[in-house]
Amino acid sequence: MIKKTHSEKETYDFAKGFAQKLMGGEVLCLIGDLGAGKTAFTKGLAAGLGVKGIVTSPTFVLMKIYDVHNRIKEMAHIDAYRLSGGQELINIGAEEYFKDKQCVAVIEWADRIRDIWPKDCLKIYFKILKGDDRIIEIKK
Footprint of Mg ion on 68-107 (CB under 5 A): none
| Plot region of 25 (φ>0 → left; ψ -120 to 50 → alpha; else → beta) | left
Binding mask 10-39 for ligand ADP (x = CB under 6 A): xx--------------------x-xxxxxx
Q: How far is the CB of 101 from ligand ADP (least distance, A)?
A: 27
Half-sphere exposure of 30 (CA within 13 A, CB side): 27
Nearer to ligand ADP, 32 or 48 (CB): 32
Residue length, the chain? 140
Q: How far is CA 136 from CA 10, 20, 22, 70, in A?
A: 11, 17, 17, 26
Residue choice 27, 38, 89, 105 for contact with Mg ion (CB under 5 A): 38
Residues that bind ligand ADP in the complex, under the rule CB under 6 A = 5-8, 10-11, 32, 34-40, 108, 126, 132, 134
